[in-house]
Homo-oligomer: A and B are copies of this chain.
Amino acid sequence: MNDKLKKPLILITNDDGADAWGIEVLTRLMMQIGDVMVVAPDGPRSAQSNALTVTQPIRFHEIEKSEGLTRYNCTGTPTDCVKLALNEIVDRQPDLIVAGINHGSNSAINVIYSGTMGAVHEGCENGIASIGFSINSHSPEVDFSEFEKYVLKIASETLKNGLPHRVCLNVNAPCGKIAGIRIARQCDGRWVKEFAKRTDPRGRDYFWLTGNFENHEPENEDTDEWAIDHGFISIVPTKIDLTAYEAMEAIRGWEFS
């Protein structure tokens, strides 16, 4: 078949694992606009960030092959999934990489911890338009129906327009009724009171990660947190060049000699 007649190839992964409902919904949606390949972790990999598996090998195996859809499970992290797909599985470069739909928001500082966004950063590094989709609920049965048409629209517009070099998209939706889309910036804030302490039967303490997000700028209407809190989908264009260019000149003035 002539390449120009081919549908776009869309690579899908996530960090909640191949069995999560969010990736099932995302797969169904993406099949409306392209040929789909899913390479997803074989279990939950939340909060894996851009982590790579380096101390042991990884494997993948095909679990489904039908018209317009091929699915593989992978033993690695979300970032491993994208690397393995691009290096060892695909026979042509994907036109789009999408990750999610994540059960839980990846707004604000969560973008740096998210395995979903780790996969998106990896796609971006490889010069492929990449989007992370998340919804602001950890419920495995969260209702994605309001979000669906926006996911399709954002993916279609990204395929049409492309993205700037080293820029990807972090898309987060509120639960329930959606008021529209806001192009937003990453909210300033941090996690506090992060551990729940328990004591084992031998009297030794152990700690579960938990915590509360502290929004440092709840009054500002241009952040992703504000958007989600007010019923909007936030789209944050997100960089993989982490250089703080505006700080370079000041540091050049330090006394290093």
Contacts and interface: CB of A to CB of B under 8 A. Distances in A.
Interface of A: 44, 46-55, 57-60, 79-80, 83-84, 87-88, 109, 111-113, 118, 121, 125-127, 150, 153-154, 157, 161, 163-167, 169-170, 180-181, 183, 185-186, 188, 190-191, 193-195, 197-198, 204-209, 235-248, 250-252, 254-256
B51 A44 contact: no
Residue of A57, A164, A198, A204 ringed by the most chain B CB atoms within 10 A? A57
Contacts of A50: 49-50, 112-113
Given A150-B256, A153-B256, A186-B241, 12 more contacts: A46-B55, A52-B209, A53-B209, A83-B191, A112-B125, A157-B254, A157-B255, A181-B256, A183-B248, A185-B241, A185-B245, A240-B242
A163 B247 contact: yes
Copies of this chain in its oligomeric complex: 2
Given A166-B188, A254-B161, A240 B193 contact: no
Contacts of A236: 242-243
Contacts of A204: 59
